[in-house]
Amino acid sequence: MTPEERKAMKEVSCRHFNGIQNKTCEAGLEYPPWQECSCLGKRTDCPSYACFSAEELAAKEAALQRSMDMMRKGLSSCCEAPFDTSQVITEGEFKNHGPRFCSKCGKLAFMV
């Protein structure tokens, strides 16, 4: 997906969309069958549909970029502390798989 396509998708995503694994969106509305769900497109039939503003999109993009930069440095984005890798698998077929937690606050940073 190109950066332009990613930006266009974000611009038409509803701010209440929290994934189809949930029964309702963040506005409390029940999701229709996925084939009919238009939360990721310009939705005209939902009274709670709300796009992100350009400023919100820029802030989300900056936060994502910061998180990625911190991850490349081996630091958590929450506390800028090194990752706790004590639960990462060290050998075998799934070597290097497992959770990386913030060593300061214990929050899950990411999982492989």
Averaged confidence pLDDT in the chain: 85
Give the CA distances from residue 68 to residues 35, 93, 110, in Å, rounded to whole numbers and listed in that order. Answer: 32, 26, 11
Range with the poorest average pLDDT among 7-11, 66-70, 79-83, 106-110: 7-11
Angle at 73 between CA 69 and CA 78, to 5 degrees: 65
Has residue 33 got a pLDDT over 80?
Answer: no
pLDDT in tens, 10-32: 666 788 888 878 889 899 988 87
Residue 75 has what pLDDT? 95
Has residue 35 got a pLDDT over 80?
Answer: no
pTM over 0.75, yes/no = no
Domain ranges in the chain are: 1-52
Provide the 10 A C-beta neighbour count for residue 16.
Answer: 16
